[in-house]
Amino acid sequence: MTKTVNHVVTRPGRKPGDADVQIPVAQDLTTVPGIRQRDADVSFYSRVYPQETQNIEKAADRQWVWSVYSEETLQHRKRHDELNEPLVDAAAVSGDLEPTGTPTGEDITDAIRLKARELGFGEVGFTKFDRRYTYTGKKRWVKYEHAICLALEQDYVQTQSLPSMDAEFAHFGTYEIEGALLLDLADYIRSLGYHAQVHSPNDNSAPYIPMFVAAGLGQLGANGQLLSPHFGSRARIALITTDALVTYDEPIDYGIHQFCQVCQVCVNRCPGRALLAEKVWWRGVEKNKLIYERCRPVMARYDGCAVCMKVCPIQRFGMPAVMEHYVATGEVLGKGTHLLEGYTFLERGYFGPGELPQFDRQFFEIPHGRNEEWLFQQFKEKLMNEGLPPEEEIVGFAKQVRNILVKGNSTIGDE
Ligand code: SF4
Ligand code: SF4
């Protein structure tokens, strides 16, 4: 059934020099530019319940994953961390570097956008760095008020093989390339006379998606990922903040907020049953929430999983094709087909539309919270079940807690 078009979004082509693309948004998909939000609630939660990075808040399971990785994943992750470490370290101090050029006082939005596109970033947008989202441990680190949102596409073919080691090579390989490109772009901004601070994709200062949405680069999908026009969520996202004079972009309604409620492919195909069909209000924003504890055990054991990225039609076919198809037919392009929905799960084999792998309850029992919290939890259970342990065991517990506290928290992680 043909749909009435409410508005048409025009965006730059996929690569520099490509013609602009037109994305028709059907009337029944139209909601608001960006995302439905209650500003006062976002501010309240930010003040009373500030967020911390999962690399700290979920440190216990992030350490646990190393114990269930396959040998190939383990070696690959170690190699990636070695290659990535200097890039993350350089980003951490990038905001302290002084400009190398002289500012003209002119708006340099276009110059930065052009340079970023030349370097290979597929989506570039400008907005205010929204400090309400800043992670607790990074509040004093963030120096400049303007955010440049940058998305680097990862390889199309490798991504379609998700979940697989090949796709993991693309995932982590894209981070390695992006880490270097961000430093290059920051150097360029300094050469124009301004400061530039690189917010690494592997040492996040905040959840970056809200700022990408504010900059009009896409909308939040039901899979919890940014769906951008050309490559959906097949990208790795990062920020640079600067004190340069720039002009902010505006949020856009691509129709995604409502389209996901019609589509639901990722929700139905998620092997962990971690994605929720209905939207909820969470910290002042209306969104489909992901249940972390249902996702993590699957990700850790099945090559990063990311079936939710693979089966998304926006990722597979691009937003223009998907929205044109919806306007012409009222249907979701590829929904119900093996091409879009099928995936292979290591030794468990192939799962077509309507088929999901099964896991027992124990599969989902993983460590929770911070490392010291998890240790306390285990100690508490032991006390309840076995009574007071011998003195040397209590001392051993205290030593373990002390070691964790002395080591401190790291904000650096895999995303
Ligand atoms: S990574 Fe896998 S388990 Fe986690 S939400 Fe996506 S599809 Fe579900
Ligand atoms: S698969 Fe469908 S429901 Fe899920 S994020 Fe993509 S468009 Fe939205």
In angstroms, what CA-CA distances link 383 with 103, 191, 259, 369, 372? 64, 61, 50, 20, 16
Residue nearest to atom 1 of ligand 2 (CA): 312
pLDDT digits (tens, 9 = 90+) for 259-310: 999 999 999 999 999 999 999 999 999 999 999 999 999 999 999 999 999 9
Query: Which ligand has the nearest atom to the CA of 163?
Result: 1
Distance 165 CA to ligand 1 centre (A): 16
Residue 69 has what DSSP assignment? S
- Rounded CA separation 213/217 (Å): 6
Closest-lying ligand 1 atom to the alpha carbon of residue 269: 7
- Rounded CA separation 258/36 (Å): 11
Positions of E strands within 63-135: 123-128
Q: Distance from first CA to last CA of the chain, Å, rounded?
A: 41
Tokens, residue 300: 């850790």
To test the pocket of ligand 1, the residue of 61, 162, 164, 270 to mutate (highest count of ligand atoms within 8 Å of its CB) is 270
- Rounded CA separation 321/331 (Å): 12
Closest C-alpha to 198, from 56, 82, 89, 52: 89
Query: Which ligand has the nearest atom to the CA of 222?
Result: 2
The verdict on the CB of residue 314 being under 6 Å from ligand 1 is no
Query: Which ligand has the nearest atom to the CA of 289?
Result: 1
Closest C-alpha to 152, from 240, 241, 239, 237: 237
Distance 104 CA to ligand 1 centre (A): 48
pLDDT at res. 20: 96
DSSP string of 143-198, one letter each residue? --SEEEEEEEEPPHHHHHT-SSHHHHHHHHHHHHHHHHHHHHHHHHHHHTT--EEE
pLDDT digits (tens, 9 = 90+) for 64-112: 999 998 889 999 989 999 999 999 999 999 999 999 999 999 999 999 9
Please state whether the peptide bond connecting residue 163 to the residue before it is cis, i.e. omega within 30 degrees of 0.
yes
The verdict on the CB of residue 265 being under 6 Å from ligand 1 is no
Residue position matching structure tokens 């720039």: 246
| Rounded mean pLDDT, 338-354 | 95
Closest-lying ligand 2 atom to the alpha carbon of residue 322: 7
Distance 400 CA to ligand 2 centre (A): 43
Tell me the whole-structure pTM to 2 decimals: 0.94
pLDDT digits (tens, 9 = 90+) for 209-222: 999 999 999 999 99
